[in-house]
A and B are shown apart, each in its own frame.
Chain A
């Protein structure tokens, strides 16, 4: 493994496979009465969140605590960033505390890469702008493999606001490395150009969903959309929302996924979100195991 996890793009297929295998051992740990192991005792982690996050932050924090690390939380409203400190100085100060891991979320793409080049600690990208969210893609892959046994050859439909979605980007990078067939579905204004990754683009959701093994829904990211990309949320649901009728077009055993938080009634109906085909809550549980695996693998072994 490299020193840092800044993106799926930078990972080899072998590294990804190793994370997924190790995560399955950590999932067993999460089923025990004592869910904590001493593997990273004495290591210190700082969670540096420059953007609001509840799920990812909670998931990382649980993973860190279950590996016996000491955890520092650093969030923007309470930090000296609001007093005008530069990112570089913030990072250098944190490094001087002697931390081993920096988990970073930032609204600007590329910030984790910048930090990784400037510190000795291992940097884990917990989402940077519209670029990548690598641990989400790893946990999605883990959740798919758990149910389907493989990624190879699966028809994966990624639906919604792909342009603003770092989750979609990381998933596209990962799935294309494992030869899944990727379909991007959404309004033309929200689909970026990603032909290099062998994706198929559908503006018509019914057409795109036909025969899909996986239906990966994305959250409409109002906060990243400076302007209107579609007329109204009602109209959005009408054309690109997942309801039971549409889900019926996918394979009978298709899985419904969503990285959360969900906008019920905007991108997904309650029935679809809560249907037996939904693995949305498995994704949450698997997220802890995958993040434990990432941290465990980044600490050990020779750095590349």
Chain B
């Protein structure tokens, strides 16, 4: 990790934020009926799983959790230096008529969410799509706004946000750093 990196959120902060978002999801949807959480690969998948555990603890209800890879729906294929690795997409339920909460770790330009919505629509016709993110770092290029936001972190264009997860063998942490 370069020395410029600064910790914005630690394990406890992330824990509290996700507890709050879990409550908000239940409140907004008046329970958990027809609810489905779908995490965007990769960070979003970890967060979606944790949210479902929290919702289970609060409501004693099992929420289906899926993962979505958006590589094939991106609008910048061929513009990037590195080709995105196509990861697993696993949608555990029929999304038609479900209330789907898309989950991502960081929202930036909004283009990933656009791609995710297109990908999701190919699996069915959800009754509603909501969006939950851990970090909103601003700089939107599309008219997309999360329904549930963990923390707003205004960033400059030369800064980057890194979210680390225990699931990947690291300590839960959100870091900000100047791009090298």
Interface set of A (CB-CB < 8 Å, partner B): 1, 21-22, 25-26, 28-29, 32-34, 36-40, 296-297, 299-302
A39/B77 contact (C-beta < 8 A), A22-B86, A25-B86 known: yes
Interface centre among B83, B86, B87 (most CB of A within 10 A): B86
Closest chain-B Cβ to A204's Cβ sits at a distance in Å of 45
| Contact assessment for A300 and B69 in the assembled complex, using a CB-CB cutoff below 8 Å | no
* With A37-B72, A39-B77 as contacts: A32 and B122 at CB distance below 8 Å: yes
Residue of B nearest to A297 (CB): B83
List the A side residues contacting B71 at CB < 8 Å: 39
Closest 7 CB pairs of A and B: A300-B83, A301-B83, A25-B86, A37-B72, A39-B72, A34-B122, A22-B86
Closest to A25 in B: B86
A300–B118 CB distance below 8 A: no
Is residue B180 contacting chain A, with contact meaning CB distance below 8 A? no
Contact B123 A32 (CB under 8 A): yes
| Residue numbers in B under 8 Å from A26 (CB-CB) | 86
Q: Assess the B81–A28 pair: CB atoms within 8 A.
A: no
B108 within 8 A of A: no
Cβ of B73 within 8 Å of any chain A Cβ, yes or no, is yes
Indicate if the CB atoms of A300 and B123 lie closer than 8 Å.
no
Task: Report the nearest B residue to A300, measured CB to CB.
Answer: B83
Interface residues of B in 131-153 (CB under 8 A from A): none
Task: State the CA gap A32–B72 with chains docked (Å).
Answer: 14
The 23 sampled A-B contact pairs (Cβ below 8 Å) are: A21-B85, A25-B86, A25-B89, A28-B88, A29-B72, A32-B122, A34-B122, A34-B123, A37-B72, A37-B73, A38-B118, A39-B71, A39-B73, A39-B77, A40-B77, A296-B72, A296-B83, A296-B86, A297-B83, A299-B77, A300-B83, A301-B83, A302-B81
Residues of A within 8 A of B81 (CB): 301-302
Most buried by B among A36, A296, A300: A300
Q: Given A25-B69, A38-B72, A39-B71 in contact, is the A300-B88 Cβ separation under 8 Å? A: no
With A28-B89, A32-B123, A38-B118 given, is the CB distance from A300 to B80 under 8 Å? Answer: yes
- Complex Cα spacing A300 to B123, Å: 25
Contact partner, A38, options B73, B83, B84, B89, Cβ 8 Å: B73
Which chain A residues border B87 with CB–CB below 8 Å? 25
Main secondary structure of the interface of A (DSSP, over half): loop
Give the interface of B toward A (CB within 8 A). Answer: 69, 71-74, 77-78, 80-89, 118, 122-123
Known A-B contacts: A32-B122, A300-B80, A301-B80. Give 20 more (CB < 8 A): A1-B83, A22-B85, A25-B87, A26-B86, A29-B89, A32-B123, A37-B72, A37-B73, A37-B122, A39-B71, A39-B72, A40-B77, A296-B72, A296-B86, A299-B77, A299-B78, A300-B78, A301-B82, A302-B81, A302-B82
The minimal Cβ–Cβ distance linking A12 to chain B, given in whole angstroms, is 15
B166 → chain A closest CB, angstroms:
25
Chain B residues, Cβ within 8 Å of A40: 77
Give Cα A1–Cα B80 distance, bound, in whole angstroms: 14
**Residues of A contacting B123 in the complex (Cβ-Cβ under 8 angstroms):** 32-34
Residue of A nearest to B89 (CB): A28
Chain B contacts for A36, CB-based, 8 A: 122
CB-defined contacts of A34 to chain B, threshold 8 Å? 122-123
Closest to A298 in B: B83
Q: Which residue of A lies closest to B119 (CB)?
A: A37
Residues of A within 8 Å of B85, CB to CB, are 21-22
Minimum Cβ distance to chain B for residue A248 (Å): 38
Query: For B86, what are the chain A residues with a Cβ–Cβ distance below 8 Å?
Result: 22, 25-26, 296
Whole-angstrom CA separation of A278 from B72 in the bound complex: 32
Minimum Cβ distance to chain A for residue B7 (Å): 33
Min CB distance, A40 to chain B, in Å? 8
Instruction: Identify the interface centre among B73, B78, B82, B123: most chain A CB within 10 Å of its CB.
Output: B78
Residues of chain B lying within 8 A (CB to CB) of residue A296 = 72, 83, 86
